[in-house]
Amino acid sequence: MKTVLMAAFEPFEGELVNASWEAVSQLHERMICGAHVVAKQLPCVFGESLQVLNDAMDELEPELVIVVGQANGRPNITVERVAINIDDARIPDNAGRQPIDERIVADGPAAYFATLPIKAIVEGIREADIPAAVSQTAGTFVCNHVLYGLLHRQAQQGGRGGFIHVPYLPQQAVRHPGAASMPLQTVVLALEMALSIALTVEEDKKLEGGATQ
């Protein structure tokens, strides 16, 4: 039986919850397209987050790994295209560390592309009437750090991997005037669709999803 690892983050920047974990934890032990989903919470800490992810990968040997993070203020589900080899923290992580312009892997390449069918996932989610888009940057904080580390490992050991950012939940947006949000069940549904497309679509679709700048 195939195993899928879904990882998401603990709260950060003073929030009480992290939308990504609220959603991903609902998928724990679910069967999707014949695969067994295991959910794992990651600390929002450089280094440690990757260690927890690597330990879970050692244990589960998943064929597919999707990491989910919270993108404060974004109104839609965004599927990340690429991770870059740099830690550059605008704010301290949950352990108080704030690396500036440090390589994630000292001799690693500048970037890895996600190995998910990102256009097919965006199209599938949108066809379910849930706003979604490709994102051209996962930032330079812990989200990008984990995605780069994941793709670096999979480049050597095989397996598919990627990252999906989700909006604030409504109860978070209430405390951030003017911020967009998405209800938990909508996010869960979008992640289920992403999983099932990632498990069944071999080659990505040629669909528009670029940015002029």
Question: In the complex, which residues of this chain contact its own copies (CB under 8 A)?
Answer: 13, 69, 71-72, 74-76, 81-82, 84, 86-91, 98, 100-101, 109-113, 119, 126, 129-134, 136-141, 143, 165, 169-171, 173-174, 177-181, 183, 186, 204, 206-213
- Catalytic annotation present for 143: yes
- Catalytic annotation present for 165: yes
Catalytic residue among 22, 44, 165, 192: 165
Among residues 37 and 83, whose Cβ is nearest to its own copies?
Answer: 83
| Minimum gap (Å) between residue 192 Cβ and its own copies | 16
Measured CA to CA, the distance from residue 116 to residue 206 in angstroms comes to: 13
Catalytic residue among 143, 145, 152, 192: 143
Say if CB 54 and CB 204 are below 8 A apart. no
Measured CA to CA, the distance from residue 163 to residue 118 in angstroms comes to: 10
- Catalytic annotation present for 80: yes
| Minimum gap (Å) between residue 211 Cβ and its own copies | 4
| Minimum gap (Å) between residue 45 Cβ and its own copies | 14
| Minimum gap (Å) between residue 92 Cβ and its own copies | 11
Task: Using the structure block, give the residue that is written with the tokens 């256009």.
Answer: 119
Measured CA to CA, the distance from residue 212 to residue 114 in angstroms comes to: 20
Catalytic residue among 80, 145, 152, 192: 80
CA angle 70, 73, 77 (to 5 degrees): 55
Residue 198 tokens read as 């990632």
Question: Which residues fall within 8 angstroms of residue 4, CB to CB, at 6 or more apart?
Answer: 32, 35, 36, 37, 38, 62, 63, 64, 65, 66, 195, 199
Residues with catalytic function: 80, 143, 165
